[in-house]
Amino acid sequence: MIRIGQKLRDERLRRGLSLDDVAKATKIRQSFLLAIEKGDYSKLPSSAYVQGFVRNYAEYLGLSKREVLALFRREFDEEKVFRVLPEGLVARDVSRTRFRIHHTALIVVFLLFFLSLFVLFQYRYALIDPPLTIDSPKEGLVTESKDIRISGYTDPSAVVTVNGDVVSVGGDGFFTKQLSLFPGDTVIEIRAKHRLGKEALETRRVTVKE
């Protein structure tokens, strides 16, 4: 059975063309053209290049691309070709491939990790109560003033109420409200409720002297 390289070479010679002529016309290196004619595919970059070079070579010579490629596929043994590549080259290719896979895997792991942190941060109060710290008043405060200042910190996205009245919360989580109390004992309820339903409650008992 005639080999594809021999067929291409015979047609080239029949047309009176040199390898240099073909190389200039097809932009394929002479060394690659010679390797194709000899059937020494191991000297070509890869199987994709081999097929492309053969197709372009055949097209330039006016041969049937379908026929030439059919002969090429019967003849070309990709596994055998790659086995005869220099071991150092194969090792480098494998190393680069493993590095790319490893590098990609690390990127995916980091992205998943930071995505998990982001989701956890966004929904942290779905499982726990929002923080609530009361700076003023102190528990058990006894005062002669009827005007009591309530202040503290919580999560900026929480809704704070003082005895049922909604209090504005700043971007840093700070809130404050003035209450006017009647003389006697009063229990002040401060609630911080997250939009997902979790709630924190603090109470302060204040006594206003008459």
Q: Is 117 a member of any domain?
A: no
Query: Does 76 fall in a domain?
Result: yes
| pLDDT for residue 87 | 47
CATH number, domain with residue 146: 2.60.40.10
List, for the chain, all residue ranges whose pLDDT scores fall below the cut of 70: 1, 77-99, 121-127
* Nearest in space to 190 (alpha carbons), one of 210, 209, 172, 166: 166
Cis peptide before 137 (omega within 30 of 0): yes
* pTM for the whole structure: 0.43
Q: Do 79 and 11 belong together in one domain? A: yes
Total domain count, the chain: 2
Does residue 105 belong to any structural domain of this protein? no
Determine, yes or no, domain membership for 124.
no
- Does a structural domain hold residue 39? yes
pLDDT score recorded for residue 166: 93
Q: In this structure, is residue 103 part of a structural domain? A: no
- What is the torsional sign of CA 186, 205, 133, 144? positive
**Are residues 74 and 142 both part of a single domain?**
no
Which H, E and C letters describe 88-99, residue by residue?
HHHHHHHHHHHH
pLDDT at residue number 1: 63
Looking at 26, 57, 83, which one is the last position of a domain? 83
Domain boundary among 67, 83, 99: 83
* Domain range enclosing 72: 4-83
In a domain, 101, yes or no: no
Do the domain assignments include residue 47?
Answer: yes
**Quick one: 79 and 136 in the same domain?**
no
What integer pLDDT is reported at residue 96 of this predicted model? 61
Q: Does residue 164 come out as left (phi exceeding 0), alpha (psi in the -120 to 50 range) or beta?
A: left
Judgement on whether residues 11 and 79 belong to the same structural domain of the protein: yes
Q: What is the CATH number of the domain that holds 17?
A: 1.10.260.40
Which pairs with CB-CB distance under 8 Å and at least 24 residues apart come from 178-182? 178/147, 178/148, 178/149, 178/150, 179/147, 179/148, 179/149, 179/150, 180/146, 180/147, 180/148, 181/146, 181/147, 181/148, 181/206, 181/208, 182/146, 182/208
Listed residues 83, 117, 143: the one ending a domain: 83
pLDDT in tens, 11-54: 999 999 999 999 999 898 899 899 888 888 888 877 777 888 88
Asked if 77 and 136 sit in the same domain, the reply is no
